[in-house]
């Protein structure tokens, strides 16, 4: 199937990045959010990223304008009535995602593929609320989307080979590298990454070292581009907590219990870079 018209649901840090790479690849993109302010912020981020590419000589001013023109504002899910693909990037919460997919199943044409950028939630369970589970798939982009090459593609129990192949082909068109993964809590990326971040938070909680020291150890000792606490702030502490809860519930193993300090920060609204405060302070 040729995928030309896409809707991205959620214009936050992931949705805006996904919208940017889709528009850069020549697709017509509807960028949807329930909040107009989030939509505006998302488009501003895309415009800033493209302007940086103009300054660096990677694209011309005209090309930037053409890419921006491929983006359409959407504040209603009903706008999905004529798209070939939806990529959902709203909050990491099963109830929210299932409600979105249920509505999309009614609104979109029969051929439309429904993808989720979920970090950890079972694709099979999201697909189960639709009448087209064979057309539901995970498309897990990494943050920041314009920079990171990986897309984990997650097959739900019923995902068809045809749909898998369409999404793999699209991923390559977006100049990303697809990696096939089966549907288990956290898939591969977050099953490995998030327990490390959670352990770094325990290390802080237990007073083993300061936040700066913990980050320095992992940056200088392991050559990680960011320390784990900086990375947690960058991902969003709410998202980190949701992922740990999915691992904890999904495997029923106490090794995945979220650190109480992570819970406390999320309850305080200290969600990291996006709210100006997490483990660190931001402008
Ligand atoms: N959006 C777009 N571009 C960005 C960006 C952003 N948010 N942040 C940085 N960049 C670009 C910069 O413009 C720069 O581009 P040029 O090469 O064109 O100049 C390039 O990335 C490098 O940036 P910097 O030189 O400013 O800084 P850096 O070398 O430290 O790189 C980084 C920044 C790429 C974010 C790097 O710190 C990094 O790789 N960090 C780790 C990121 C990571 O682990 N991501 C995965 C998170 S987990 C996840 O996504 C899954 C999940 O479900 C939670
Ligand atoms: P975010 O908080 O930056 O953005 C979420 C956006 O979704 C907000 O703008 C919000 O207004 C919007 N939204 C909420 N409910 C909605 C609905 N019903 N319809 C339309 N829009 C809605 O979050 P994010 O970091 O972009 O994460 C989004 C998704 O991507 C989550 O599932 C997350 O797990 C996943 N993800 C996050 C990262 C990361 O590093 N942050 C990486 C990969 C995947």
State the distance from the centre of ligand 1 to the C-alpha of 226, rounded, in angstroms: 9
**CA–CA separation, 62 vs 54, rounded Å?**
9
Is the shortest distance between the CB of 88 and ligand 2 below 6 Å?
A: no
Report percent pLDDT > 90 for the chain: 99
Is the shortest distance between the CB of 145 and ligand 1 below 6 Å?
A: no
- Whether the CB-CB separation of 243 and 194 falls below 8 Å is answered with yes
The whole-chain average pLDDT of the chain stands at 97
Among 91, 101, 154, 274, name the best residue to mutate to test ligand 2's pocket (greatest count of ligand atoms within 8 A of Cβ). 91
What does the pLDDT read at residue 159?
Answer: 98
What does the pLDDT read at residue 37?
Answer: 98
> What mean pLDDT is predicted for residues 227-255?
97
User: For the segment 150-176, what is each residue's pLDDT rounded down to a tens digit?
Assistant: 999 999 999 999 999 999 999 999 999
Q: Look at residue 1 and tell me whether its pLDDT is greater than 90.
A: no
> What mean pLDDT is predicted for residues 193-200?
98
**CA–CA separation, 187 vs 70, rounded Å?**
32
What does the pLDDT read at residue 30?
Answer: 98
What does the pLDDT read at residue 152?
Answer: 98
In this structure, which residue's CA is closest to atom 30 in ligand 1? 225
State the distance from the centre of ligand 2 to the C-alpha of 39, rounded, in angstroms: 12
Which tokens in the block code for residue 98? 């299932």
Q: Which helix (H) or strand (E) holds 88?
A: strand 85-88
Domains of the chain listed by start with CATH number: 5-181 (3.40.50.720), 190-273 (1.10.1040.10)
What does the pLDDT read at residue 63?
Answer: 97
Is the shortest distance between the CB of 38 and ligand 1 below 6 Å?
A: no
In this structure, which residue's CA is closest to atom 4 in ligand 2? 12
- 202 pLDDT band (50/70/90 cuts)? very high
Is the shortest distance between the CB of 231 and ligand 1 below 6 Å?
A: yes
User: For the segment 48-96, what is each residue's pLDDT rounded down to a tens digit?
Assistant: 999 999 999 999 999 999 999 999 999 999 999 999 999 999 999 999 9
Ligand 1 atom closest to the CA of 58, numbered from 1: 18
> What mean pLDDT is predicted for residues 181-210?
97
Q: Look at residue 116 and tell me whether its pLDDT is greater than 90.
A: yes
H-helix segments, the chain: 13-24, 36-55, 61-69, 94-107, 123-127, 161-173, 189-205, 211-222, 228-235, 237-251, 260-267
Is the shortest distance between the CB of 244 and ligand 2 below 6 Å?
A: no
What does the pLDDT read at residue 283?
Answer: 85
What does the pLDDT read at residue 65?
Answer: 98
In this structure, which residue's CA is closest to atom 12 in ligand 1? 147
Report percent pLDDT > 70 for the chain: 100
Angstrom CA distances, 22 to 18, 171, 173, 216, 224, stand at 6, 9, 9, 35, 28
Q: Which residues contact 244 (CB under 8 A, 6 or more apart)?
A: 194, 195, 198, 256, 257, 258, 262
**CA–CA separation, 87 vs 143, rounded Å?**
15
């Amino acid at each position: 199937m040729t995928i030309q018209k896409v809707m991205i649901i959620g214009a936050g840090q992931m949705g805006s990045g996904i919208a940017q790479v889709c528009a850069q690849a020549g697709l017509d993109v509807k960028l949807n959010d329930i909040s107009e302010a989030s939509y505006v912020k998302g488009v501003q981020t895309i415009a800033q990223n493209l302007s940086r590419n103009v300054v660096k000589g990677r694209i011309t001013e005209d090309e930037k304008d053409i890419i921006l023109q491929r983006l359409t504002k959407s504040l209603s899910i009903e706008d999905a009535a004529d798209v070939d693909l939806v990529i959902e990037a709203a909050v990491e919460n099963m109830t929210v995602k299932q409600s979105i997919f249920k509505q999309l199943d009614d609104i979109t044409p029969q051929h439309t593929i429904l993808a989720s950028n979920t970090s950890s939630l079972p694709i099979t369970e999201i697909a189960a609320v639709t009448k087209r589970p064979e057309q539901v798939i995970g498309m897990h982009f990494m943050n920041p989307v314009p920079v990171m090459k990986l897309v984990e593609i997650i097959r739900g129990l019923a995902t068809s080979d045809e749909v898998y192949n369409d999404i793999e082909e699209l991923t390559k068109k977006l100049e990303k590298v697809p990696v096939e993964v089966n549907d288990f809590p956290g898939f591969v990326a977050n099953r490995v990454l998030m327990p490390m971040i959670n352990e770094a938070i325990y290390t802080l909680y237990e007073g083993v070292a300061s936040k700066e020291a913990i980050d320095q150890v992992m940056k200088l000792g392991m050559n990680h581009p960011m320390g784990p606490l900086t990375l947690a702030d960058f991902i969003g502490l709410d998202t980190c907590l949701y992922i740990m809860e999915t691992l904890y519930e999904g495997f029923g193993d106490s090794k995945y219990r979220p650190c109480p300090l992570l819970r406390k920060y999320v309850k305080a609204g200290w969600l990291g870079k996006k709210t100006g405060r997490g483990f660190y302070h931001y402008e």
